[in-house]
A and B are shown apart, each in its own frame.
Chain A
Amino acid sequence: MAEPRASGQDGPVSDQGSLAVETRDLWFSFSGGGPVLRGVDLDAARGQVTVVLGASGSGKTTLLKLLKGLLAPQRGSIRVLGRTTSPGGRGIRLDAAVAYIPQNLGLVRNLTVLENTLTGALGRMGALPALLMAFPPEWIKEATGFLERLGIAHKLEEKVYNLSGGERQRVAIARALMQRPQLLLADEFVSQLDPVTTVSIMDSVRETVVTGLTVIMTTHELDVVARYADHVAVLRDGQKVLDLPAAEVNPRLLSQVIKV
């Protein structure tokens, strides 16, 4: 049996409130397995970078998929940008205001850098122009602008399968930004990159947060927390075991909490 999936959403997206994300007593298990998330409460303030830390299998990816609406919770509630998802309720999967970058980025290898970036705008495009790949010139300009800011505009026409890991990461960010999102969910975002590329990519993300974007990212890189996080939550075996402003945590405490 497939795991439960969300399929719609109750109510419109709202700009009200200081929290972009609120989850309460969130439980989730895949069919035939034990609980992956066990009663998670999480708040993410608007315009901040919240980093969710945890070892492999702690439930980080599942949490992000629930926030995106790709999965539906079995118990508890999720409120994203003012819209609530409850067990058995309708989800938020197709909401372009919430951008989601999966662990392996989910780029289309046979499309170019520009085409991949433009797919971020599909949610506001009609079927026929999309079939003909007839993107309005202003969208192409917007996409090119993002790619310039991310330092990859020189590979605009390059197929994605020819790019390095860091370059692909930049394309995934550009695609997410083309959605004009209010919330960006990024899974294991910089975990496969070298330290120099990590700094460069995270600087770009931090820049976009200045414009009001809320970011929730999962990682197991403790260095990212110190430099870029506003808030930190730690998951262990599906439970939240730490939830503090980034200024109040240090790497020793974090590694202790994650490993214990």
Chain B
Amino acid sequence: MNRSSLGARLAPLLLVGLLAVSLANVGLLDPQRLGRGVMNIGVFTSAMFPPNLGVLETVALAILETLQIAFVGTVVGAALGLPLALLATQTLFGPWLTGGVRLVLAIVRTIPALLWGIIFVVALGLGPGAGSLGVGLYSLGYLGKLFYEIFEGVDAEVLEAVRSVGCSRVQLARFALLPEAANNLLAQLLFMFEYNVRASSIMGFVGAGGIGYYMLGYIQLLRYDALLTSILVTLVVVIAIDYGSARLRRLYLPETRRLS
């Protein structure tokens, strides 16, 4: 048996071994603990029902704040991300500038939204302002990358034709890149907003506003029926946002309209 076929036979065994060690280390091979967990889930679930409708008004106001955090965050991310994405587009600028901007976007993207939330809570104090900026910075990192990839996908012949009329880079961006990429930009923006609604709903865990603050409070006070109300309200809002985005896509994106 040669070395490569021996390696191929041992690889699955190695994988199973690694999985067993990892499961033991994270405590999932402890039957007593697992049994206790199942019972706890049962208690937790039964304590959630029926949902507490007495907190509906509080939860509704909190979800409204969450939506505002997501909206402001998405707009901030897009407003900052769009110009940075143009500066990172290799069909417009040279490698030094595009490389530098891409590095900044990568660094911003590495930090999770929740961590940005903590940073802004430290900087600005508790509240939805910190959450909005946290979501905004996180969106900037992602939208910046998605946008410059969209710009670089614009048909080279269109760019060549518009550039050859003798226009500047700013004019090229305004009259060729942005209109050609508009549909894809809108699609990514809607996706980011949907994502940000979910991300904003846990911003309250670190004191950065929104429904997460109440969810954490209900968990700590063992008010699971109120927690269920906030989860259900969040679910309804997320479904409504998904539906609304789908309608907007059909309205503004001709490709989607043709396929529907």
Contacts and interface: CB of A to CB of B under 8 A. Distances in A.
Given A109-B180, A122-B171, A161-B254, A68 B162 contact: no
Interface of B: 155, 157-168, 170-171, 174-176, 179-180, 182-183, 254
A104 B157 contact: yes
Contacts of B167: 94, 119, 122-123, 125, 130
B170 A127 contact: yes
Given A102-B157, A122-B167, A123-B167, A108 B174 contact: no
A108 B154 CA distance: 10
B158 A107 contact: yes
A36 B162 CA distance: 25
Interface string A99-121: 11111111111110001000111
21 contacts: A98-B164, A99-B165, A100-B161, A102-B161, A104-B155, A105-B161, A106-B158, A106-B159, A106-B162, A108-B158, A110-B182, A111-B179, A115-B175, A120-B165, A121-B165, A122-B166, A122-B168, A127-B168, A133-B174, A175-B165, A179-B166
Contacts of B170: 127, 130-131
Contacts, number: 85
Contact of A102 (B160, B168, B171, B176): B160
A93 interface: yes
Contacts of A107: 158, 161
A123 B170 CA distance: 12
Contacts of B155: 104, 106
Contact of A70 (B164, B166, B176, B182): B164
A217 interface: no
A130 B175 contact: yes
Interface string A39-64: 00000000000000000000000000
* Interface residues on chain A, size class: 35 or more
Interface of B is mostly: helix
Contacts of A110: 179-180, 182-183
Contact of B165 (A105, A109, A123): A123
A109 B163 CA distance: 16
Contact of A93 (B162, B163, B175, B254): B163
B170 to A, nearest CB: 5
A96 interface: yes
Contact of A106 (B157, B171, B174, B183): B157
Contacts of A68: 164
A158 interface: no
Given A111-B175, A122-B171, A125-B171, A106 B161 contact: yes
Contacts of B161: 100-102, 105-107
Interface of A: 68, 70, 93-96, 98-111, 115, 119-125, 127, 130-131, 133, 161, 175, 179
A124 B165 CA distance: 9
A207 B96 CA distance: 48
Contacts of A101: 161
A95 B175 contact: no
Given A100-B164, A130-B175, 9 more contacts: A99-B164, A104-B155, A115-B175, A119-B162, A122-B167, A125-B171, A127-B171, A130-B167, A179-B166
Nearest to B164: A100
A96 B166 contact: yes
Contacts of B171: 122, 125, 127, 130
Contacts of B162: 106, 108, 119, 122
A68 B168 CA distance: 17
A108 B179 contact: yes
Contacts of A125: 167, 171
B174 A96 contact: no
B164 A93 contact: yes
A131 B166 contact: no
B157 A122 contact: no
B166 A123 contact: yes
Nearest to B159: A106
Nearest to A98: B164
Contacts of B254: 161
Nearest to B168: A127
